[in-house]
């Protein structure tokens, strides 16, 4: 059984704020989903656990910078919630002591 | 007046060619129909304001094509899709237009580039009517998880249109478009196609570029077409497929070389053992058996097949998919684009933004994905699910040694009532029982209309799902076209 404390830990890892009611509901919901998916443990599996991507393989490109047209740059920056001059603004992440 | 309910892409193309109506006339007819019906059905989140301008441009190209080769026989050639009105799922980017994935976190986000499929359709000269409703970030089977309200089923407005591409399906079914694009991670094209009496195709993994489609489960996602007929679906498929440098998972024409088992006609396989559960509606099973009889009449050989691990598909899917969701949706941080909610410091901004921006189902799947990927559970869930995925794929590959198409119903029951399954996530997830296998195996699968179930005086469409080996979409079109003639 998953606890409210475990839900809080997951929410912390996933950076999502949850209300108290939702936390409680989520314990029930996630329990019922886990009870369902638990049946994969019954399958007889004698193959390698690593994902095999089949016929799909890595495609590489050279690691070189591309110049973005000015209008694309502007369109991209226009989507940012907060700007300072021509830079995207974020809050200070280093505490001042 | 153009009779929209009788129209197909092929017919519309002939009319445009003959000059019976113009692309503007056609677009206007759809706009009128949308105006009549969208208020009730809610298939579209937005109707683009420049539809008539796009149609004028199509008419200009048609005129150009006509003047260029009218000298010889009076006939002319231009793209079958030129001037054809399309509905586009809200998780596919069209440059300059809003693409919200029906989420509050992207409510005002404007796409900064065209998805590869959109670029391809623009080259064909299609007319984009609008963006369609969906479950938020394609997570759901009913569009009830849209942040902007549910889409109703045009066949019975008390029922869902299916999901997650429910808006695209409903738009087509209410004659509010002639073609549509959706995306399919666990059945999100095929299930709404089935609920709305349409053809819906999930292509081989890698067949269609996903550049510019919002990622949900990257090892599962495919963009695909909805059509009123198999031929229409095939036309759209041919226009959007192809290898793309912007999506490294796309395949080339030679990646797979499917070899048929049937010498003359494709052989059809039925996993009978998977169709005995009490979760399948009687009407669905009866209709399925009728469909098999139709195939027999058409001269197809029918074989019973066994897929020993198929009953684990849905469980494996509901581990792998949320794991990939939790990773893909980590990009929404309120810094680069989309919603931003202010918290007390930088990290708190994330909590506020993601808490407010994501809907209930998105939050649930992110947490579930975080759980199955966290240390201590990774081996028991994520790795285990990948191993199960592997053995299920082997089962299908083995079955395709002897058959060319595997048949199941698309869904265990026809469209359900709005609100019927919202309280129980597992009941909702069971909707995907027949469809998730094609996403797990990467094989192509198509839902085609197979009849109706009559409930409460309303005729609800049923669908038949055909799955083929990797790279063999052709067999789906071939068999689908023959079946369609008998309906």
CB contact at 8 A, B330 and B347: no
Confidence of residue B341 (pLDDT cuts 50, 70, 90): very high
Nearest to A93 among B346, B360, B390 (CB): B346
How many CB atoms lie under 10 A from the CB of residue B421?
A: 20
Q: What does the block give as tokens for B5?
A: 């309910």
| Interface probe, candidates A54, A70, A82, A93, chain B, greatest B C-beta count within 10 A | A54
Judge: B354–A52 Cβ closer than 8 Å, yes or no: no
How many CB atoms lie under 10 A from the CB of residue B126?
A: 26
User: What is d(CA B109, CA B118) in angstroms, rounded to the nearest whole number?
Assistant: 17
Share of chain A above pLDDT 70, in %: 86
Contacts of B24 (CB under 8 A, 6+ apart): B52, B55, B56, B59
pLDDT at A48: 62
pLDDT tens digits, B19-34? 999 999 999 999 999 9
Give the count of alpha carbons within 13 A of A72, CB side only.
7
pLDDT at A57: 66
pLDDT at A59: 76
pLDDT tens digits, A60-77? 888 999 888 999 999 999
How many CB atoms lie under 10 A from the CB of residue B4?
A: 18
How many CB atoms lie under 10 A from the CB of residue B275?
A: 17
Share of chain B above pLDDT 70, in %: 99
Average pLDDT over residues B59-70: 89
Average pLDDT over residues B46-59: 98
pLDDT at A93: 81
pLDDT at B70: 61
CB contact at 8 A, B467 and B437: yes
How many CB atoms lie under 10 A from the CB of residue B486?
A: 12
Judge: B315–A38 Cβ closer than 8 Å, yes or no: yes
pLDDT at B73: 55
Judge: B312–A81 Cβ closer than 8 Å, yes or no: no
Crossing angle of helices A20-37/B313-328, nearest 10°?
140
Which chain B residue lies closest to A8 (C-alpha atoms)? B367
Judge: B425–A11 Cβ closer than 8 Å, yes or no: no
* Confidence check: pLDDT of B165 > 60: yes
Cα B379 versus chain centre, distance: 32
SS3 assignment, position B325? helix
pLDDT at B427: 85
SS3 assignment, position B278? coil
Instruction: Select which of B165, B168, B188, B194 is catalytic.
Output: B188
Tell me the backbone φ, ψ of residue B117, rounded to 5 degrees.
-65, -35
Judge: A36–B318 Cβ closer than 8 Å, yes or no: yes
| Interface probe, candidates B99, B112, B324, chain A, greatest A C-beta count within 10 A | B112
Average pLDDT over residues A42-59: 68
pLDDT at B371: 97
β-strand pairing of B458-468 with B199-202: unpaired
pLDDT tens digits, B347-360? 999 999 999 999 99
Nearest-CA distance from B176 to chain A in Å? Answer: 31
pLDDT at A66: 86
Average pLDDT, chain A: 88
Confidence of residue B292 (pLDDT cuts 50, 70, 90): very high
């Amino acid at each position: 059984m998953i606890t409210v404390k475990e839900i809080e830990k997951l929410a912390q890892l996933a950076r999502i704020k949850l209300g108290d009611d939702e936390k409680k509901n989520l314990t029930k919901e996630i329990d019922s989903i886990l009870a369902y998916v638990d049946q994969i443990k019954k399958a007889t599996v004698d193959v390698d656990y690593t994902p095999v991507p089949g016929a799909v393989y890595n495609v590489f490109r050279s690691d070189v910078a591309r110049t973005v047209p000015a209008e694309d740059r502007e369109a991209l920056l226009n989507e940012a919630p907060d700007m300072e001059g021509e830079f995207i603004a974020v809050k200070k992440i280093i505490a001042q002591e | 007046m153009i009779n929209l309910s009788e129209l197909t892409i092929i017919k519309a193309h002939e009319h445009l060619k003959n000059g019976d109506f113009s692309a503007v006339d056609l677009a206007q007819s759809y706009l009128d129909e949308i105006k009549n019906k969208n208020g009730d059905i809610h298939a579209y989140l937005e109707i683009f304001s420049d539809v008539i301008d796009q149609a004028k441009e199509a008419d200009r190209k048609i005129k150009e094509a006509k003047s260029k080769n009218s000298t010889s026989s009076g006939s002319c050639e231009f793209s079958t899709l030129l001037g054809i009105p399309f509905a586009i799922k809200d998780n596919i980017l069209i440059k300059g237009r809003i693409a919200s994935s029906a989420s509050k976190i992207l409510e005002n986000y404007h796409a900064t580039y065209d998805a590869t499929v959109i670029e391809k359709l623009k080259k064909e000269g299609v007319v984009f009517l609008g963006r369609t409703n969906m479950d938020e970030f394609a997570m759901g089977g009913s569009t009830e998880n849209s942040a902007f309200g549910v889409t109703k089923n045009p066949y019975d407005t008390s029922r869902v249109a299916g999901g997650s591409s429910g808006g695209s399906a409903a738009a087509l079914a209410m004659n509010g478009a002639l073609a549509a694009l959706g995306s399919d991670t666990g059945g999100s094209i095929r299930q709404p196609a089935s609920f709305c009496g349409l053809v819906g195709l999930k292509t081989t993994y890698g067949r269609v570029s996903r550049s510019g489609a919002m990622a949900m489960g990257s090892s599962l996602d495919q963009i695909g077409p909805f059509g009123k007929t198999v031929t229409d679906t095939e036309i759209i498929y041919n226009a959007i497929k192809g290898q793309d440098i912007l999506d490294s998972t796309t395949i080339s024409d030679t990646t797979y070389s499917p070899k048929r088992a049937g010498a003359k006609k494709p052989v059809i396989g039925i996993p009978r053992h998977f169709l005995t559960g009490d979760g399948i509606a009687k009407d669905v099973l009866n209709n399925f058996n009728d469909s098999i009889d139709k195939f027999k009449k058409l001269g197809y050989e029918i074989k019973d097949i066994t897929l020993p691990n198929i009953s684990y598909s849905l469980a494996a899917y509901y581990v792998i998919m949320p794991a990939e969701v939790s990773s893909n949706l980590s990009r929404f941080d309120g810094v680069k684009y989309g919603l931003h909610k202010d918290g007390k410091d930088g990290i708190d901004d994330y909590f506020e933004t993601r808490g407010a921006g994501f809907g209930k189902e998105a939050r649930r799947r992110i947490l579930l994905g975080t759980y199955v990927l966290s240390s201590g559970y990774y081996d028991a869930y994520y790795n285990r699910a990948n191993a199960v995925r592997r053995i299920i794929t082997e089962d299908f590959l083995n079955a395709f040694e002897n058959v060319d198409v595997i048949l199941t119903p698309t869904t265990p029951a026809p469209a359900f009532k709005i609100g019927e399954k919202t309280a129980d996530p597992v009941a909702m997830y069971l909707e995907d029982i027949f469809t998730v296998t094609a996403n797990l195996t990467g094989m192509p699968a198509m839902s085609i209309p197979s009849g109706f179930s009559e409930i409460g005086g309303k005729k609800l469409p049923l669908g038949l799902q055909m799955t083929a080996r990797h790279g063999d979409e052709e067999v789906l079109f071939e068999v689908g076209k023959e079946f369609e003639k008998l309906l």
